[in-house]
Each structure stands twice: as C-alpha cells, then as structure tokens.
Amino acid sequence: MEKIIHFLSSHGFSREMIVAIISVLPIFELRGGIPVAHFAFNFSILKSFYISVISNSLIVVPLVYLLSPINKWLENLKNGNNIIEKLRRHALKKSKLVDELEFIGLMLFVSIPLPGSGAWTGALIAFFLKLSRGKSIIFILLGVLIAGILVSLLTYLLDIGIIKNTGIFLKKVGV
C-alpha cells in the first residue's frame, strides 16, 4: 500500500484521488481506502467514508456489465480458459452464503469487512452463479454501503482507542 500511495503522490495525484483509486482496486477496495484516508491523510471519518464508498460504488455497474464480454474475450485467448477457471474457482469457493440466501447473501458477503469479500468478488460470484445483473448491482451496492459503515466504525474505534492497535490492522493497509 505504501508503494501505491508513494507512486500516486509522486505522479501528482491529490490525496482524495489516491483514496478513490485505492477504493476501486480489487484487493483493497474501501477496506483499504477508509483507513488510509483517515490515518495516512488525516481525513475525518465522514470524508473517508464518502470518498471510499462513492469510489468503490462507481466500479460496480461497469464490472457487472463487463464480466460477460471479458469472459467471451478470454475464451478466445490461448490461456484464457485457465484464467476463467481460476476466477471461477476463487468466486465459487466464497459463494456459499450467496448459494443459500441469493441476493441477501450477496449483500451480506460484500458487506463483510474482510479481504476478498468486496464488490469485485461479489460481482464475480453473481456472474458465475448467473444472477440477475440488475438485482446484483442493487445488492452489491447495499453491501458496499454496509461495509463502508462497518469499516468506518472500526477505524473510528481504533482511532479513539476503544480497539487496541496490535499493529496488524495498520500494517495490512500500509500505514
């Protein structure tokens, strides 16, 4: 994360834009954006929340609608089917909640503030389970909103000392 922040800073990106970019990256999403905004850039929890949730939400519609054409394109590449199968295994390995509860499960999955459970993986799960695009978008966006609230709350509680920092949290977000 530090390398990403340094790279973007050295290329003239504003602190707000850096948080927005981190919040759309598949590995970090808002789970990285909110703590970075608050701890690295001293943004208020509210500003951290708004930038990260809005940014993370902006990727949802294009992602849901582009997965099908990307899948078709990958099928025509030499190793494309290997990539598709790797993505399918990754998504379906995490899809138990969605299998059981469908769209509510999708929302809950996306809202879990842990790595690998955000909008990107939620969109992959919806695609591979062939869920309705429109409903998937709504429930992924609700999950992003809930995740933003949870991560903001955890960040705030860490900041005021109710949750003790073991160093693991901030190291994971590179602060």
Instruction: Encode 63-76: b = buried (16+ Cβ within 10 Å), e = exposed.
Output: bbeebeeebeeeee
Domain that holds residue 37: 2-172
pLDDT in tens, 26-39: 989 999 999 999 99
pTM to 2 decimals?
Answer: 0.89
Please state the domain count of the chain. 1
Q: Which of 45, 42, 3 is nearest to 21 (CA)?
A: 3
pLDDT in tens, 45-77: 999 999 999 999 999 999 999 999 988 898 888
Residue 88's pLDDT band, with cuts at 50, 70 and 90, is confident
Q: Is the pLDDT of residue 168 over 70?
A: no
The 3-class secondary structure across 16-83, one letter per residue, is: HHHHHHHHHCCCCHHHHHHHHHHHHCCCCHHHHHHHHHHHHHHCHHHHHHHHHHHHHHHHCCCCHHHH
